[in-house]
Amino acid sequence: MTKLLDQIQKTNDIRKIPAEDLPELAEEIREFLVNKVSVTGGHLASNLGTVELTMALHLTLDLPKDKIIWDVGHQSYTHKILTGRKDGFENLRQFGGMSGFPKRAESDCDAFDTGHSSTSISAALGMVHARQLRGENNTIVAVIGDGSITGGLAYEAMNNVSKLTSNLIIILNDNNMSISENVGGISTYLNDIRTSSGYIHLRDKVYYSINDNLPGVVRGIRKTKNSLKQLMVPGMYFEQMGITYLGPVDGHNIRAMQRAIERAKHVNKAVLIHVCTKKGKGYTPAEKHPSRFHGTSPFEIETGLPKNPKKKAAYTDVFSTVMIKLAQRDPKIVAITAAMADGVGLKRYRNIYPDRFFDVGIAEGHAVTFAAGLAAGGMKPVVAIYSTFLQRAYDQIVHDVCMQNLPVIFAIDRAGLVGEDGETHQGVFDLSYLSTIPNLTVMAPKNKWELSDMLKFAVAQGTPCAIRYPRGEAYDGLREYREKIALGQAEVIFEESGILLYAIGSMVKTAEEVHARLAELGIPSSLVNARFVTPDEALLDRMLPAHSLLVTMEENVFSGGFGEHVIACAQRNDWKCDILPVAVPDRFIEHGAPAKLKEKYGIDAEHIAAKILERTGRA
C-alpha cells in the first residue's frame, strides 16, 4: 500500500493530506481501484472518472453531517475508500462482502441506498425539506451523471427543485460533454459574480427597491438580462428552471471543484455544478472502451482482457442472434432499449438495422409507451430491458400496452438471481408483477433453443408477450425436448410417478438435477417444463392422480409467483395433492454469486432434493 493512501483510515482523513499531494493521492486511488476490481470485478470506468470529484466533495463537506446522494451509486468506490472502507475491497461484491453500491447499513456516510438511476435529485430534495422542518443547516449534494439525467424522474424532481428557497447542490457529472463546451474565462467570471454573497445581497436590494417604485423599469431590465444570459451563460436551460448554473468545471481539477462547491454552498436555492470528467481516466483500456469497463468481470491489468473469457453463448447472445434473423424476415420488427444496447444484446442489431433500432435513454416508462405507439402504428416492437429496470414501467405496461392488447414483446434479461450487484438488481419479482396483468402472456425458456422458439412464437402471437431469461451462460441441455410451443401448454420431459417436478425457466435445469438425484435413490419422479407462468390445468389434471407430491420450482419470490398460481389452481380444482413450493424467499436478496445465493436460500438441487425427502418421510 502506498504512503498517502495509508493515511486514509476514516472519514475526513483526506483533510490531513497537503494540497500539493492531492494529485498524487488521486493516482494512488486509481491504481488501487484497478488492482482491486481486476480481481473481484465491478464498476471501473465510472469510478476512475470521478476520483477527483469525490475528493473535492470530501474536502469541502463535513461527513456524515453533510449528505451525498450518488445517483445509481456505481461511481461511489472512491467515496468508500475515503470513508475508511478500503479493506472492504478485498471482498467487493462478493457474498458477505462490501456492496458495490451505497448502503446506509454499511456506513453513516452513505446517505441513501441507490442502484437504479435518476433518483438522486428527488431524494436530495426530500432531505432538504426534512432539513428545513428539523431546523438544521447541513449541506446536501446530489451527484447525477449525464446519462442518468435523461430519466424522466430527474426532470420531475427539477420541476420541484425550482421552488426551493434554501440550498441544494446538484453536481452534473458529464463525461461526454453532452450539454455544452467549456467557454473558459467568461464562464468563470460570471460564476464569480453570480454566486458571491455581496452580489446576491445587492441584487436583491436593488430589485425590490426599483420594483416598488418603477415596476416597468424592472420588466425592461429583466428582459435585457435574460437576452444577455441566453448569449453568454451555457446553462440557461437550468437557469430558466430556477436552478443557478455553475460551470463547466474541469472534473479532474480538485481546486476548481472545491471553489465551485464552496460558492454553491452560499446560494439559498438549488445550484447545479456542471462537471466535465473522462470516464475510465488513468487506465488506458477503460479510457478506450468505457462501456466494456462499466461493469466488468475480473480482468488482466496489462491488457484489460477478461481473466476467464466465456466459452459458451449467454442467453443475451441467443436473443441477439434471433432478433437479427427475425428482422431479416419481417420488416415490421423494431427493437427498443433504455440506454442498454450492449447489455441487452442489441448492438449488432443496431448496426444492421439502425432505422429499426431505438435507444430512448434511461427512460423505461417512455420506452414502453413508445413501443405501444409503434405497435398501434402497425409495427412489431421488441422492448429489451433488464428485469429489475422493467419494474419502473409497470404502469405503462398495464395501461398503454396490455389494456389496449397491443403486440409488444418484452425481452426481459437478467431475470432471477443476477448476483454481485445485489438487492437493487436481482430480477426476482417479474413473474409476480407481470402475471397479474390481463392480456399479457408470460413465458420463461428452459434452454437456449426454447428462448429462440419463444421469440418466434411471441412475434406470431400478435398480443402482448413477455419472455424472461437469466443472466449468463445459456443452458444447452435437454435439446432433444423441443415440443412445439402452444399457448398455455406445458411440456412433459420425463413422466413417471410419485413426485411431480413442475419447474419454470432456469429452474428446469435444476429440476433435471433433482430428478437425477431422486433416481439414484430409487425414487421415481416426473419433470414438467411449465413454459408459461399460468398453470397448465389440463396437464396437471391428467398427471396428478399418479403423483403424491407436486413440487413447484421458480427463480422468483413466492408471493404472487408461479408456485402461488399453481396452489390457487389446485384449490379451484379441488386437487387432493400435497404441494411443496420452491422459490426465492419474500425478501430483498443481498449480493453474491448466484450459485452461493441459491445454496443459502435452498433453491439448489441438493437442498430441493432434501426438502422432498423430508416431506415424503424418507429423510
Q: What confidence tens digit (pLDDT) does each residue in 340-370 have? A: 999 999 999 999 999 999 999 999 999 999 9
d(CA 191, CA 183): 12
Query: Which three cell numbers, joined as nine digits, stand for 351?
Result: 448496426
Averaged in consecutive runs of 10 residues, what is the pLDDT profile of the chain (619 residues)?
Answer: 86 96 98 97 96 98 98 97 97 96 97 96 98 96 93 93 94 66 36 46 50 56 48 70 92 97 96 95 94 92 90 94 98 96 95 96 95 98 98 98 98 96 96 98 98 98 98 95 97 97 98 98 97 98 96 98 97 94 97 96 98 93
Residue 602 falls in which region: left (phi positive, over 0), alpha (psi -120 to 50) or beta = left
Q: What confidence tens digit (pLDDT) does each residue in 235-284 have? A: 788 888 899 999 899 999 999 999 999 999 999 999 999 999 999 999 99
d(CA 344, CA 338): 10
Q: What is the pLDDT of residue 186?
A: 34
The answer to whether residues 323 and 346 touch, using CB atoms and an 8 Å cutoff, is yes
Q: What confidence tens digit (pLDDT) does each residue in 549-569 have? A: 999 999 999 999 999 999 999
d(CA 374, CA 408): 9
Nearest to 110 by CA among 78, 154, 79: 79
Query: Which three cell numbers, joined as nine digits, stand for 285?
Result: 483500456
- Work out the angle between the directed axes of helices 605-615 and 507-520 (0-180°, nearest 10): 60
State the DSSP string of 267-296.
Answer: -SSEEEEEEE--TTTT-HHHHH-TTTTTSB
Query: Who contacts 228 (Cβ-Cβ below 8 Å, separation ≥6)?
Result: none
d(CA 106, CA 555): 27
The residues with which 411 forms a beta bridge, in sequence order, are: 384, 467
For the chain, the distance separating the N- and C-terminal CA atoms, rounded to the nearest angstrom, is: 52
Q: What confidence tens digit (pLDDT) does each residue in 97-112 have? A: 999 999 999 999 999 9
d(CA 167, CA 175): 25
d(CA 457, CA 449): 12
Q: How far, in whole angstroms, is CA 278 from its chain's centroid? A: 21
Q: What confidence tens digit (pLDDT) does each residue in 6-46 have? A: 999 999 999 999 999 999 999 999 999 999 999 999 999 99
d(CA 223, CA 205): 19
Q: Do domains 3-183+234-286 and 315-470 have the same CATH topology?
A: yes
d(CA 492, CA 539): 9
d(CA 7, CA 558): 48
Cβ burial of 422 (10 Å; 0-12, 13-18, 19+) is buried
CA dihedral 364, 368, 374, 375 (to 10 degrees): 160
Domain 492-615 is found in CATH 3.40.50.920: yes
Distances (CA, A) of 477 to 230, 482, 501, 508: 63, 11, 17, 10
Element (H, E) at 442: strand 441-443
Domain limits, the chain:
3-183+234-286, 315-470, 492-615
Residue 129 falls in which region: left (phi positive, over 0), alpha (psi -120 to 50) or beta = alpha
Q: What is the pLDDT of residue 494?
A: 97
Q: Mapping DSSP to helix (H, G, I), strand (E, B) and coil, where does residue 469 land?
A: strand
Burial letters 208-228, b for 16+ CB under 10 A, else e = eeeeeeeeeebeeeeeeeeee
d(CA 45, CA 264): 27
Q: Mapping DSSP to helix (H, G, I), strand (E, B) and coil, where does residue 334 land?
A: strand
The residues with which 549 forms a beta bridge, in sequence order, are: 499, 578
Query: Who contacts 42 (Cβ-Cβ below 8 Å, separation ≥6)?
Result: 77, 92, 93, 100, 295, 296, 420
The answer to whether residues 5 and 86 touch, using CB atoms and an 8 Å cutoff, is yes
Q: Which amino acid is at 244?
A: T
The answer to whether residues 47 and 77 touch, using CB atoms and an 8 Å cutoff, is yes
Query: Who contacts 134 (Cβ-Cβ below 8 Å, separation ≥6)?
Result: none
Distances (CA, A) of 354 to 140, 224, 325: 42, 44, 15
- CB neighbours (10 Å) of residue 163? 10
Q: What is the pLDDT of residue 179?
A: 28
d(CA 342, CA 533): 28
The answer to whether residues 577 and 616 touch, using CB atoms and an 8 Å cutoff, is no
Position of cell 399460468? 534
Active site (catalytic) residues: 279, 364, 392
Torsions phi, psi for 410 (to 5 deg): -100, 115
Element (H, E) at 39: helix 22-40
Q: Which CATH class is domain 315-470?
A: alpha beta
d(CA 609, CA 619): 10
The answer to whether residues 536 and 488 touch, using CB atoms and an 8 Å cutoff, is yes
Topology given in CATH for the domain delimited by 3-183+234-286: Rossmann fold (3.40.50)
